[in-house]
Amino acid sequence: MNQILAKEQLSKDVYRMRIRAPLIAEERKPGQFVILQMDTDFGERIPLTIANADEKEGSITIVFQVVGRSTWVLAQMEEGESIANLVGPLGRPTHIEKVGTVVCVGGGIGVAPTYPIAQAMKQAGNKLIVIIGARTKELVIMEEDMRAIADELFICTDDGSYGRKDLVTAPLKEVCERQEKPDLAVAIGPPMMMKFCALTTQLYNVPTVVSLNSIMIDGTGMCGGCRVSVGGQTKFVCVDGPEFDGHQVDYDLLIQRLGAFREQEKIAADGCRMHEEAMEKGLKE
C-alpha cells in the first residue's frame, strides 16, 4: 500500500511522486486532494492536491514543495518505500463543463493542482489558456505537461529569468481585455496570487474559481481547523471546498490562519535544516 513508484525532483525544493493507490486513482476527480501522514503514531496529517492519476496502473501523482517537517521527511523517501498513511480522494470535485474559454492560472507549486482541472476542462471541449507563474526559472514546473494540452500558454517569472518578467496578473488582465474574454478563470497558487487574480478578473466580470489549501487534520469536516470565510459565511475547505468563488473569499483571513502555527513550524523546520547540515557534514567527514 502507498508505495512510491517514481520520484522526480522538479526544482530545488519541489518533488513529484507517483504513488500506488488503486482505490483513490479509480475514484478521484479533478480538484480533489489526499491527506498523507509519515508516521502513524506521531506524524501530522498534511493535505496535498492530486496532480494526476493513472487508473490502469492504480497510481496517483502528487507534487509537493518542502516547506516543513513532514514534507521534508517525504522528500527523503525513495522509490519502493511506502508512505505510512494516505487517504482520499477528499473534497468536492471541480465542476467541469463546456463554458467556452477557460483560463487556468497556476502559481509556483499551484501549477500541479491546476493541471488535472485544465486537462478536464480541455476534454470537456473548452478552449484552454494556461498561465504559469514562478519566482524564477528554476521553479517553473510542469511546463511540458501544460503545453501539451493548452491552446495558449503564458509563462511569467518574477525575475524575468524565463518567459515574461511579469506577475501572472499581467497576462490574465490581457486575456480578460480581449474581445472574446474568458468565460471562466481558475486560479491556484499562493493566497496572495489568488487574491490578486480574483481582483483582476472581477474588473471584467469573469467568474473565477480558486482552490484553497488550508491547515487541516481529518479532511472530513470533523475538526473545523480549515475554516475560511466566503461571502461572509464560515465554510470548511475540506467538505465545502476546496474550490470556492474567488470573488467571495476573505484572503486576508486565509493568510492569517495559514500562519497559525508559524512559530512551531519554524522551530521544526530549523530542526530539519540542522539535521540536514549535520548529515552533509557527516558525509564530508
Partner 1 sequence: MSWQNPDELKEAARLEWERLEGLAQPLKPRDRMALPAQEMPTQEPLARARNMREVATGYFADQARVEAQRCLQCKNAPCVNGCPVSIRIPDFIAELVKGDPAAAIRIIKQTSLLPAVCGRVCPQETQCQQPCTLGKALKSVEKAVAIGRLERYAADWEREHNAMQSPVVAPATGRKVAVVGSGPAGITVAADVRRAGHEVVLFEAFHKAGGVLVYGIPEFRLPKAIVQTELDALKQMGVEIRTNFVVGRTRKLADLLEKDGFDAVFVGTGAGLPKFMNIEGENLVGVYSANEYLTRSNLMKAYNSDKAFTPIHSPERVAVLGGGNVAMDAARTALRLGAKNVHLIYRRTEVEMPARVEEVRHAKEEGVQFHLLQNARRILGEKGRVTAVECLRYELGEPDASGRRRPVEVAGSEFQIPIDAVIIAIGNESNPLIKQTTPGLETDKWGHILTDENGRTSLPKVFAGGDIVLGAATVILAMGEGRKAAAAINALLSQP
Interface residues for partner 1 in 184-213 (CB under 8 A)? none
The residue among 100 and 259 lying less far from partner 1, judged by its C-beta, is 259
Question: Which one of 19-27, 109-117, 130-138, 180-188 is the stretch in contact with partner 1 (CB under 8 A)?
Answer: 19-27
Give the DSSP per-residue string, 70-100.
HHHHHHH--TT-B-SEEEEEESPPP-----S
Which residues, in sequence order, are CB contacts of 49 under 8 Å at separation 6+? 31, 32, 33, 62, 112, 113, 188, 211, 213, 242
Strands 14-20 and 4-11: antiparallel
Binding mask 129-158 for partner 1 (x = CB under 8 A): ------------------------------
Q: Are 170 and 177 a contacting pair, CB within 8 Å? A: no
Q: Quick one: DSSP state of residue 56?
A: T
Number of residues binding to partner 1, judged by CB under 8 A: 44
- Can you say whether the dihedral through the CA atoms of 244, 260, 263, 46 is positive or negative? negative
Choose which of 9, 12, 23, 100 interacts with partner 1 (CB under 8 A). Answer: 23
Binding mask 235-264 for partner 1 (x = CB under 8 A): ----x-------------x--xx-xxx--x
Q: Nearest approach, Cβ of 222 to partner 1 (angstroms)? A: 4
Lookup result for grid cell 467571495: 248
Name the grid cell of 235: 465554510
Rule CB under 8 A: say whether 229 interacts with partner 1. Answer: yes
Helices 69-76 + 262-284 axis angle, to 10: 30
**Which of 6, 67, 148, 222: binder of partner 1 (CB under 8 A)?**
222
Binding to partner 1 in span 27-86, by CB under 8 A: 27, 37-45, 69-70, 84-86
Q: Could you list the residues that contact partner 1 (CB under 8 A)?
A: 23-24, 27, 37-45, 69-70, 84-90, 217-225, 227-229, 234, 239, 253, 256-257, 259-261, 264-265, 268
